Amino acid sequence: LLTKEVKRRLGCQEGGAVDVKRHPFFRVINFKRLEAGIMDPPFVPDPRAVYCKDVLDIEQFSTVKGVNLDQTDDDFYTKFSTGSVSIPWQNEMTETECFKELNVYGPNRTLSPDLNRSHPPEPPKKSLLHRIFKRQHQNNSNSSPCTKSSLNHDVNTNHISTNSTGSS
């Protein structure tokens, strides 16, 4: 996806997006469910962040010339988080390979299990109150079982029968 030469870039050949979807890194994503809105995307960009270069950097490549920015423009643009980092910093990170351990794949170059969102997460731990009440309920169930025969016995001993004379 980041190959500079367009002819070699993933998704820019005849296969287009299908090539991207079939790539081992993206193969674990169910694109039909994603497109239907049934599942959440693996990454959602921050809508408040501006993922682009600084305005002055863009000016170098713009066909619009002769625009001068004043202090009010600078004040306005400094409020935005561009999300970009300096080129020297990027080069240093690449050369030192400090993020090399992040480029880890699972079997057959699939996502590693900790990055695979299709695996169900561990269930959350129960709260203290839930565990106490569950334990109390189990103790009550075990100490006084209510069987049909014991209920019938209780009902029969409390039952008042009348004889033919009407006395009890």
- Cα separations in angstroms, 99 against 86, 90, 95, 109: 17, 11, 10, 18
17-57 pLDDT, tens digit per residue, is 899 999 988 888 898 898 888 988 888 877 777 666 666 66
pLDDT band, residue 162 (cuts 50/70/90) = very low
Close Cβ partners of 10 (under 8 Å, ≥ 6 residues apart): 1, 3, 19, 20, 23
3 state SS of 51: coil
Nearest to 58, CA basis, from 50, 79, 12: 50
Rounded Cα gap, residues 137 and 112, in angstroms: 41
Mean pLDDT of 120-145: 69
> What's the confidence (pLDDT) of residue 157?
45
pLDDT band, residue 139 (cuts 50/70/90) = low
| Partners of 34 in beta bridges | none
Range ranked top by mean pLDDT from 34-43, 112-121, 155-164: 34-43
Cα 148 off chain centre by = 49
Count the residues in the chain. Answer: 168
pLDDT band, residue 120 (cuts 50/70/90) = confident
Residue 5 reports pLDDT greater than 80: yes
